[in-house]
Amino acid sequence: MAVGEANVDFYNVSGVRLAAISAGIISEALDVVLFEFVEGSSTAGIFTQSLFAAAPVILGKEHLERFTPRYFLVNSGNANAATGDLGMADALDCCKATSQLTGTRPEQTLPFSTGVIGERLPVEKITAVIAELTENLEEGNWLQAATGIMTTDTRPKIASRRFEVAGASVTITGIAKGAGMIQPNMATMLSYIATDAKCDPALLKELLMGAAEKSFNRITVDSDTSTNDSCMLTATGASGVDLSVDATRAIFLVELTSLMIELAQGVIRDAEGATKFVAVTVEAGPSNDVCLEMAYAIANSPLMKTAIFASDANWGRIVMAIGKAKVDIDIKKLDIYIGDVCLMSGGGKAPDYTEASGAKVMEDEEITITVRLNAGDCQQTVWTSDLSHEYVRINAEYRT
């Protein structure tokens, strides 16, 4: 199941080559991906804040601090998380194998893993395919890479932008994976974005964090945060367009944010068992924190999500979810809308609301819930999916 059509079009990014292959970690599907970045590229990353950050996350952060990455080695099927010191050694072995075959330092490879938590990484299966991966590197392999990082995803997620700035053409292309265990707390799952703009790593990280705050940090499938969340942005500089110029950077950030919102929404549209795409907006609030707390209270409520699944205009569930938000607001001032139908105002059911009007708007595949607090001018939007039978089936049978 998934909501809406998925994009499959993209632009190559000059200076980035990719390859994907099956190492047979779980099945015959593509499960190991290699990214290569041209020398001189800058990379920024944001990572999970889980206490149990996986071995590749810990090692990758260390490598990123000390050297400029030339390769990302990504596997799906095994998260190499909660694997202790052995997991750290396994991740390092993968980097060393890449290093030997590419003539770079081991620290210039960043390792990434996603899949089952708590199992040893099958290092030999992965290192056995690296030589072939290096031979297959091509600029046009983004869609294969997007497929190779999938776990319970039903389709690859890719987004791309090409725009003119400072008299030159700039490209940004990115991929993401993730379908469950999604309430990123910094980044989400795995996402790799590259551009041919030129940018130093510190500024690149600032841009990445700014865009993540409006995209990956605004989605939730099930309130669960992964041990492996990583979101990477690499700038090859091949276009010659320099992001240290304020006006150029502003345009770039708009495009980057738009692309990352598309990827983040793509994760939600393909969420485990999703039959609906739900945008929850809390507006006219006294602060962004209040708006966000309430938006997440609604978006993470299992009862709200099952009502959405059932296309049931049981707006009491939304009221209940608002009620559990830990904020101080006057509920008599509050208006609630589903789509353009007002459900509630003045603390009770809206005068014009009818069960038929509510039922009609709940039938849509894309649903917007808007809560207007009438207590300020702040606004936040969070995107989520419904809670379906299929979510339970997928997660009950995940390892079987």
Task: Kindly tell me which of 76 and 225 has the beta carbon lying closer to a copy of itself.
Answer: 225
105 near a copy of itself, rule: CB under 8 A: no
* Interface residue with a copy of itself, options 11, 14, 38, 52 (CB under 8 A): 52
The residue from 12, 41, 43, 83 that contacts a copy of itself (CB under 8 A) is: 83
Contact between 66 and a copy of itself (CB under 8 A)?
Answer: no
Binding residue for a copy of itself (CB under 8 A) from 117, 208, 231, 371?
117
> Which residue in the list 43, 114, 188, 220 is annotated as catalytic?
188
**Shortest gap between Cβ of 48 and a copy of itself (angstroms)?**
8
- The residue within the footprint of a copy of itself, chosen from 56, 60, 87, 237 (CB under 8 A), is 87
Q: Binding marks (x or -) toward a copy of itself, 166..205, rule CB under 8 A?
A: --------------xx-x-x--------------------
Q: In the complex with a copy of itself, which residue's Cβ is closer, 226 or 234?
A: 226
Closer residue to a copy of itself, CB minimum distance, 81 or 274 = 81
Q: How far is the CB of 63 from a copy of itself (least distance, A)?
A: 20
Q: How far is the CB of 75 from a copy of itself (least distance, A)?
A: 16
Which amino acid type is present at position 118? G
**Residue with Cβ nearer a copy of itself (110 or 297):** 297
Binding flag, residue 300, a copy of itself (CB under 8 A): yes
Active site residue 236: no
Least distance (Å) between residue 307 CB and a copy of itself: 7
Single out the residue of 264, 327, 371, 373 in contact with a copy of itself (rule: CB under 8 A): 327
The reply on whether position 299 binds a copy of itself by CB under 8 A is no
Q: Which of residues 353-392 bind a copy of itself (CB under 8 A)?
A: 387-389, 391-392
SS3 string of the chain? CCCCCCCCCCCCCCCEEEEEECCCCCCCCCCEEEEEECCCCEEEEEECCCCCCCHHHHHHHHHHHHCCCCEEEEEEEECCCCCHHHHHHHHHHHHHHHHHHHCCCHHHEEEEEEEECCCCCCHHHHHCCHHHHHHHCECCCHHHHHHHCCCCCCCCEEEEEEEEECCEEEEEEEEEECCCCCCCCCCCCEEEEEECCECCHHHHHHHHHHHHCCCHHHEECCCCCCCCCEEEEEECCCCCCECCCHHHHHHHHHHHHHHHHHHHHHHHHCCCCCCCEEEEEEEEECCHHHHHHHHHHHHCCHHHHHHHHCCCCCCHHHHHHHHCCCCCCCHHHCEEEECCEEEEECCEECCCCCHHHHHHHHCCCEEEEEEECCCCCEEEEEEEECCCHHHHHHHHCCCC
Among 92, 60, 73, 82, residue whose Cα is nearest residue 25: 73
- Active site residues per annotation: 188
Interface residues with a copy of itself (CB under 8 A) are 48, 50-53, 79, 81-87, 116-119, 180-181, 183, 185, 222-227, 300-303, 306-307, 309-310, 312, 314-317, 319-325, 327, 329, 331-332, 344, 346-349, 387-389, 391-393, 395-400
